[in-house]
Amino acid sequence: MTAQLIPVFNGDISNETVLLCNARDLHAFLGVKRDFSTWLSGRVIEYKFIKDQDYVLVPQNGGIKNGRGGDRRSKDYHLTLDTAKELAMVERNEQGRQVRRYFIECEKKLHQQSFPQAPSVPDAFNPRGLPRGVYLQKNCSKNPYRASIWRNGQHYHVGVFPTIEAAVNAQKNFFSGDKIQPILSSTEQDLFIGNLHAILHNFRRIDEIWRSRLRPALEIMDSKLVYLLHDRFNDSMCVIPTIESRIGKYIPPKLPR
C-alpha cells in the first residue's frame, strides 16, 4: 500500500466493524480554506450524510474547556471511507484525488485479509462452531453451508456450498476477483442469474450514456451531481467484472438482419 496519508482505523457502526478516519485529519490534508466546523456541517447538510451510518460522533480528547474564549469542541467526527471519498472528490483538487485513491487501497487491503479458517472437527449442528459468516442450512442436503460477508454495514451473499472449506474459500475470493466455480445451478437460481445478467447488461448501457451524454452536459452546467454520480458509476463498473467472473459474462443474442 502507498504511504499512510491519513490514519485509518477500525470502528463500529450499527454493531459492524468498519474502517474509519477522523474528519479533522481529512480536512487538514485537503487544505480546505474554511474552518473545520463550517466546512463539515455544511457538507453534512448538503450531501445528506446520516449519523451512525455515514459517520459517528465520538468524545474528543480533553473534553470541554469551560470559560470565555475556551475551546468548547467536545466531539470528533469519524467518517466511513465511502463518506471520506465523497468529501475528497467534491473538493476538486489534487489532494482530493490522491486521498481518494489511498482510501480505495486501504479497502483493498482489508478485503484481501484472510477469513477465519474452518475448525478441524466442526460440529455440523452447532452454528457457533462454524467460521464467521458461514451458516448451516439443516434442510439442504446438497449444499448445506451458506456463506456471506458483512462490509461497511452491507450484507453480501456469497453462495451455498457442500463443505465448510468451500464456503470459507469462497469468502476469501469474493472481493479478490479470482475466478471460482459458479455457485448457482437450480432452475430458480438460473432465473436469478438471468436477471442479474440483465441488470449488468443494462447498467453497462446506462454507463455508456452517462459518459457520452449526461456527464458532459452536467460539466457544462458545473453541476455538483457530476462528482456524486462519477463515484457511483466508477465504483459500480469496478464491481461488474468481479460478478461476471462468477456467473459468466452476458452475450446479447444476435438480431436477424
Predicted confidence at residue 151, as pLDDT, reads 66
Which string of DSSP letters, residue by residue, matches 135-155?
EE-TT-SSS-EEEEEEETTEE
Q: Is the pLDDT confidence value at 254 over 90?
A: no
Predicted local distance difference test score (pLDDT) of residue 219? 82
- Here the contacts of 113-120 (C-beta below 8 Å, separation 24 or greater) are 114/172, 115/168, 115/171, 115/172, 116/168, 117/168, 118/164, 118/165, 118/167, 118/168, 119/164
Model confidence over 211-223: pLDDT tens digits?
Answer: 888 888 888 887 7
39 within 8 A of 32, measured Cβ to Cβ: yes
Phi, psi (degrees; rounded to nearest 5) at 8: -120, 135
* pLDDT tens per residue across span 166-219: 888 888 877 655 444 444 445 566 677 778 888 888 888 898 998 888 888 888
CA atoms of 150 and 17, how far apart (whole Å) = 9
Report whether pLDDT(253) > 90: no
CA distance readout (Å), 166 to 141, 183, 229:
15, 11, 37
Kindly state the average pLDDT of the residues 243-250: 75
Residues 11-53 pLDDT 10s: 888 777 888 999 999 999 999 999 999 999 999 998 889 998 8
Distances (CA, A) of 148 to 57, 73, 107: 29, 40, 18
Predicted confidence (pLDDT) per residue in 114-170, tens digit: 444 444 334 333 344 678 788 877 656 677 888 888 765 566 778 888 888 888 888
Name the CA radius of gyration of the chain, rounded. Answer: 22
Given this model, what pLDDT does residue 256 score?
62
**Confidence bin at 226 (pLDDT 50/70/90):** confident
